[in-house]
Structure 1
Amino acid sequence: MTEPNTPARNPAAPHTLVFEKDVEIPMDDGAVLKANVFRPAEPGRYPVVMAQGVYGKDVHFADGFKPQWEKLQRLHPGLCQDGSTGRYLRWETVDPERWVPDGYVVIHVDARGSGKSPGYLDPMSPREIQDYRDAIEWAGTQSWSNGKVGLIGISYYAATQWRVAALRPQYLAAIVPWEGRSDHYRDYGYHGGIRSNGFLSSWWPKQVLSNQHGNGDTPYRDRDDGQPTTGPALSATLLAANRSDYPAEMARHGLCDAWHKERTPDLSRIAVPVLSAGNWGGPGNHLRGNIEGYLRAGSAQKWLSMHIGTHYESFYLPRYIALQKQFFDHFLKGLPNGWDRTPPVLLSIRTVDGETRRAEHEFPLARTRWTRFYLHPGNATLDTAAPTQAASAGFQAQQEHLDFTTPPFETTTEITGFIPLRIWVSSSTRDADLFAVLRLFDPDGREIVFDGAHEPTPLTRGWLRASHRKVDERMSMPYRIFHAHDEIQKIEPGTAYPLDLEIWPTSIVIPRGYRLRLTIQGKDFEFEGIKGRLTHTDPADRGGQDFQGRTTVYGGPERASYLTLPIIPAAG
């Protein structure tokens, strides 16, 4: 395993940090974006690490996300020690005080229409990505730049990396998309064709509109001067006219049409080195995109790193900062630090109480034993024995669910990889939403709940709307389903259909005596007492009669329903 454990420091004395605020970056259409630039005071040409987004370059992490800040400090007590005061920490971006001393320029850009950057606020639009390309080209030609720009950041700051890298900016040299979607429709907006509105309904007002340029009601103040982080105040009328209505646009585009496609990169066009970092605990936003990005990026040099925990803590942990720096030291500085010998896949293999890190050479793992576990509706079991008799079981879509449970595992068993589900279903109506949840229980029947990217989470999840069952055969593989989402195909009431459902990848070592349970229901799965964030409750999308009926699941020799588990043989 070549993964570093501590950040590698340059042999020279640490560089002194210079902070330049509200630096102007010209765009090709005459607009100007504002950026914060942190660079070494010592003359020279240095590599650049950059992020551009809508969350406010001057909003301190603690001011914008107080609970997460407090949790991060508990998890990482040295966050504001050992070389960093934490003064410049911003949500989901790097800490300049930990990068500039190692000879990097750090740039944080307010996207057009956000923070200090005037203009029309249109998140995730083609114009925003064109601006990002212009900002990269600007950074690559400054007197303090060595002409190599790397991109790094979490979530929004990761999703935009995939897109701008596909434009191939001249000075872009490497990217580190950390937990960020690459497919605007499938990873984020519509899970299996079902609109995901829970996150969007809070994200839009709290993280976007609060940071719109000119928002005089923003709750955020720049800690340097006490002024609003959004610049001079504009009227409510002008603010409304100066932004898109992103949630409404999302609702208008229920199929994977041109609007979604222009917000989704052609991953094959990405040519720069990639370190894609995903989270096993991120089904719904921070998982699928990183694996798909890694697999489909055109880059000759690319790496996948999968971790656990909340979506922000790993990014700031010393061992992961070391990983980021080793990658950038090699590709932005040209240091012969051994990164080129790093295996292409670095995995946190999840356990019931933590993780182990392991290097691999491909994903999915070549030694995977793809094993079918059949659903037996007659006795609610899930096992490797193929059914010999037909059976069915049903549930009311909005009130009930079905559970299929394995026998206790006889030996410790690892599953790591994709999990396709073939399930035969009928509905009393002309459509049905399926929410599939894979869960883990100990010998006493207690469920194992994992600390996920956004919220407590089961092992993993999947979704599919029956009318979106059309599969894109060109993009699909035997172990990974890819739905087209380009037309609505209603079903006939009472007629059984085979549906291929994509349950998002996962990793877990199942102890002896533990059981897996597959829960199938017609609404969001939530733990008792815990309100989920990544929910699908938009009445305009799910309120019709088609989603209020009775759903029936079938099993048997002619209608075999089965879950395919990626079992990894024990070493030796």
Structure 2
Amino acid sequence: MSSPESPYPLRPPRSTPESRKGVPPQPRTETRDDMIIERDVEVTTRAGRTVQADVYRPLDGQPVPPLIAWSPYGKHDPAPIGQIYPASGVKPEHMSDLTTFEGPDPVYWVPRGYALVIADIPGTWYAKGPASYLSPEEAADYHDLVEWAGTQEWSNGKVGLTGVSYLTSSQWRVAATNPPHLAAINPWEGWSDTYREVARHGGIPETSFWPYIWERWGASTGPIEDLEAETREHPFFDEFWASKAADLEAITVPAFVVASWTDQGLHTRGTLEGFRRISSSQKWLYVHGRKKWAEYYLPENVEKQAAFFDHFLKGIENEVESWPPVLAEVRTDYYEGEFVEAESWPLPDVEYRELHLDAATGTLVTDAPADEATATYHGLGDPFAPERLVFEHRFDEETDIVGHSRAVLHMSAPKADDMDVFLGLFKRDAGGRIVPFPYFAQFEDGPVALGWIRASHRELDEEKSTPFLPVLAHRRALPLEADGPTRLEIEILPSGTRFAAGDSLVLVIQGYDIKHYRKPLVYSRHETDINTGPQLLHTGGAHDSYLVLPIRPRS
């Protein structure tokens, strides 16, 4: 049930702070390494909720810019990501024992002349709530903390925001409220549309990360937003899910946005959409093909963060104004690639080309097949039927695919009125090897790109869709066409990959997740329950099925 304090249904907390190493607030001041550390500073928001913060600042007391990390993960809990996730690539020497999960390191930033405000969001841990997540109410509380930090005697009045994942998703939300003292943001991989990018990929319920993350956010002494009930009760994109999507166009503050090709199904789409749609006149995009946590803490990238904040929070003239608006890595292999510069995102000079599926030959061809053909696989796997369809195109010359791809497929399911379709793009080198790429921050055999759709959610939102990005409306369920194949237009998440002459692009189509990892490893899973019997792909003639790929000119 909801309460007068919250428009959302509430539930008891998932866990107590004490059960997760929390200690009740003990306001105090400590010193360490030329830092003043103010513990358990309580800030009351206009709504009467509270933020609990630890504030790290220089010992000399001179006014400095504050950087805020707004987190549900616990300011009290230094989190050695490299130990928690050994395959994350984060090296112990890249963070101190004061670094909290996905947040900045005080030992780096305070000596450089910054204050860090590491904040527990209202309703989590010992902060008074109730808790809500990525909501307008939370954004208003964050706005109030920005204004508090901008008006302290130790502050120079110019506030910046930093941090990965939730610490970025919340940046989109608060920046849209335009706090007067907010001077710069550094969104480093974070979704901006909870429904489309996390909870329901292509309309398919996500069954691994989304339920898991409720547990991670849920330590509290009071009620928290009941995300489980809300997700169950809101299968379509309605006012509830709209309240969980950022008003990106309202953002005007300078922004250094960092995305990766490798966080597909979590942060890739939302971060790139964030950069594309924000109204900031001063914005830069850096896109890499590596592991997100490792890149955030990599010393050379911390120096880029510092250069950005030095320029906008301290007024230092440096190299930032000469940065290219977009710097994107075009991958050739695992942790190998070339960075290319551009003026905007999507890259303005890409050419969208079609490759057509031919079910008769299992190939992707440049001209639409004249003859109709079908290929069949079993929706959930069957030992007596093919599990997937595979199509391949060999490149005769070096080709860069950089940006948003999409697929138009004609599908049918004779024994069902709905179907879930999963797509994967892979690179096969000239020697026949499937080239592996980092994936979901900790895996090392990922695809080039992924796509998903639940056929009943195929209706497009015409206002939000662009020629390169089909956006599903998710307002109602439409059964499969009864008198023939159903046309599905499927978003394939952005990627950047180079194919040498002789390399091939491989398209996989199947009825369940493209990648499989043993539990309890967490990544985007979709344990679908609607696929029944065979699923048919129709190609050629009146049912031309094809990919649209963003090809960067070779020059």
How does the TM-score come out when normalised to structure 1?
0.86
CA contact (8 A) 1:187 1:289 kept: yes
Q: How does 1:188-207 map to 2 (within 5 A)?
A: 188-205=198-215, 207=216
- The reply on whether 1:447 has 2:429 as its aligned counterpart is no
- The reply on whether 1:362 has 2:380 as its aligned counterpart is no
What's 1:509 paired with? Answer: 498
How far is the alpha carbon of 1:101 from its aligned partner? Answer: 1.1
Q: How does 1:229-248 map to 2 (within 5 A)?
A: 242-248=223-229
- The reply on whether 1:119 has 2:126 as its aligned counterpart is no
CA contact (8 A) 2:451 2:492 kept: yes
Q: Can you list the C-alpha shifts for 1:59-118, whole angstroms capped at 9, x where unaligned?
A: 1113x77332x556x6546425xxxxx121111111011111111111110011222313
What's 1:413 paired with? Answer: 399
CA distance in 1, matches of 2:524, 2:94: 32
113, 126, 135: which one aligns with 2:145:
135
1:484 and 1:417, CA in 2 relative to 1: closer, same or farther beyond 3 A? same
**Residue type matched to 1:435 in 2?**
F
Q: How does 1:167-246 map to 2 (within 5 A)?
A: 167-205=177-215, 207-209=216-218, 212-214=219-221, 242-246=223-227
CA contact (8 A) 1:382 1:404 kept: no
363, 366, 389: which one aligns with 1:403:
389
How far is the alpha carbon of 1:150 from its aligned partner? Answer: 0.8
**Residue type matched to 2:515 in 1?**
E
CA distance in 2, matches of 1:31, 1:492: 51
Q: Can you list the C-alpha shifts for 1:198-241, whole angstroms capped at 9, x where unaligned?
A: 11232222x223xx134xxxxxxxxxxxxxxxxxxxxxxxx5xx
CA distance in 2, matches of 1:408, 1:530: 35
Q: Can you list the C-alpha shifts for 1:526-548, whole angstroms capped at 9, x where unaligned?
A: 2577887334445xxx424xx21
15, 18, 22: which one aligns with 2:40:
22
CA distance in 1, matches of 2:122, 2:204: 30
**Residue type matched to 2:447 in 1?**
P
How far is the alpha carbon of 1:48 from its aligned partner? Answer: 1.1
What's 1:384 paired with? Answer: 366
**Residue type matched to 2:198 in 1?**
Y
**Residue type matched to 1:43 in 2?**
G
How far is the alpha carbon of 1:125 from its aligned partner? Answer: 2.9
Of 460-469 and 448-457, the range deviating more from structure 2: 448-457
- The reply on whether 1:91 has 2:75 as its aligned counterpart is no
Describe the SS at the equivalent of 2:543.
Answer: coil
Describe the SS at the equivalent of 1:558.
Answer: helix
What's 2:24 paired with? Answer: none
441, 460, 485: which one aligns with 2:449:
460
CA contact (8 A) 1:192 1:464 kept: yes
CA distance in 1, matches of 2:34, 2:389: 59
What's 2:552 paired with? Answer: 568
1:296 and 1:497, CA in 2 relative to 1: closer, same or farther beyond 3 A? same
- The reply on whether 1:47 has 2:65 as its aligned counterpart is yes
Q: Can you list the C-alpha shifts for 1:423-442, whole angstroms capped at 9, x where unaligned?
A: 11122211111111111123
CA distance in 2, matches of 1:167, 1:318: 32
What's 2:243 paired with? Answer: 262
Q: Can you list the C-alpha shifts for 1:387-445, whole angstroms capped at 9, x where unaligned?
A: 12111112111114443433432222211111011111122211111111111123343
What's 2:171 paired with? Answer: 161
**Residue type matched to 1:550 in 2?**
P
**Residue type matched to 2:435 in 1?**
I
205, 217, 230: which one aligns with 1:249:
230
CA distance in 2, matches of 1:528, 1:150: 37
**Residue type matched to 2:274 in 1?**
G
Describe the SS at the equivalent of 2:394.
Answer: coil
What's 1:35 paired with? Answer: 53
**Residue type matched to 2:66 in 1?**
V
How far is the alpha carbon of 1:493 from its aligned partner? Answer: 4.2
292, 303, 318: which one aligns with 1:311:
292
What's 1:228 paired with? Answer: none
CA contact (8 A) 1:194 1:465 kept: yes
**Residue type matched to 1:360 in 2?**
A
CA distance in 1, matches of 2:524, 2:189: 19
CA distance in 2, matches of 1:386, 1:401: 25
Describe the SS at the equivalent of 2:111.
Answer: helix
How far is the alpha carbon of 1:561 from its aligned partner? Answer: 0.7
1:352 and 1:65, CA in 2 relative to 1: closer, same or farther beyond 3 A? closer
CA contact (8 A) 1:405 1:515 kept: no
How far is the alpha carbon of 1:120 from its aligned partner? Answer: 1.9
* Root-mean-square deviation over aligned CA pairs: 2.0
Q: Can you list the C-alpha shifts for 1:362-383, whole angstroms capped at 9, x where unaligned?
A: 2222221211110001111112
Describe the SS at the equivalent of 2:274.
Answer: helix
CA contact (8 A) 1:450 1:458 kept: yes
1:288 and 1:407, CA in 2 relative to 1: closer, same or farther beyond 3 A? closer
Describe the SS at the equivalent of 1:178.
Answer: coil
**Residue type matched to 2:473 in 1?**
A
Describe the SS at the equivalent of 1:436.
Answer: strand
How far is the alpha carbon of 1:265 from its aligned partner? Answer: 1.5
1:529 and 1:145, CA in 2 relative to 1: closer, same or farther beyond 3 A? closer
**Residue type matched to 1:162 in 2?**
W
Q: Can you list the C-alpha shifts for 1:293-332, whole angstroms capped at 9, x where unaligned?
A: 1111121121111112222110001121111111111111
Of 125-134 and 147-156, the range deviating more from structure 2: 125-134
Q: How does 1:403-552 map to 2 (within 5 A)?
A: 403-428=389-414, 429-454=416-441, 455-456=443-444, 457-493=446-482, 495-527=484-516, 533-537=522-526, 542-544=528-530, 547-552=531-536
83, 99, 108: which one aligns with 1:66:
83
1:549 and 1:532, CA in 2 relative to 1: closer, same or farther beyond 3 A? farther
Describe the SS at the equivalent of 1:102.
Answer: coil
How does the TM-score come out when normalised to structure 2?
0.89
CA contact (8 A) 1:53 1:111 kept: yes
1:77 and 1:121, CA in 2 relative to 1: closer, same or farther beyond 3 A? closer
How far is the alpha carbon of 1:255 from its aligned partner? Answer: 0.8
Structure 2: 5+ residue stretches without partners? 1-32
**Residue type matched to 2:269 in 1?**
R
Structure 1: 5+ residue stretches without partners? 1-14, 81-85, 215-238
CA distance in 1, matches of 2:350, 2:535: 33
CA distance in 2, matches of 1:130, 1:189: 23
**Residue type matched to 2:394 in 1?**
P
What's 2:315 paired with? Answer: 334
1:407 and 1:87, CA in 2 relative to 1: closer, same or farther beyond 3 A? closer
What's 1:320 paired with? Answer: 301
1:245 and 1:452, CA in 2 relative to 1: closer, same or farther beyond 3 A? same
CA distance in 1, matches of 2:316, 2:468: 38
CA distance in 2, matches of 1:468, 1:28: 40
**Residue type matched to 1:300 in 2?**
S
Describe the SS at the equivalent of 2:321.
Answer: helix
Describe the SS at the equivalent of 1:46.
Answer: coil
CA distance in 2, matches of 1:98, 1:197: 38
How far is the alpha carbon of 1:186 from its aligned partner? Answer: 1.0
CA contact (8 A) 1:17 1:41 kept: yes
Describe the SS at the equivalent of 2:187.
Answer: strand
CA contact (8 A) 2:440 2:523 kept: no
What's 2:30 paired with? Answer: none
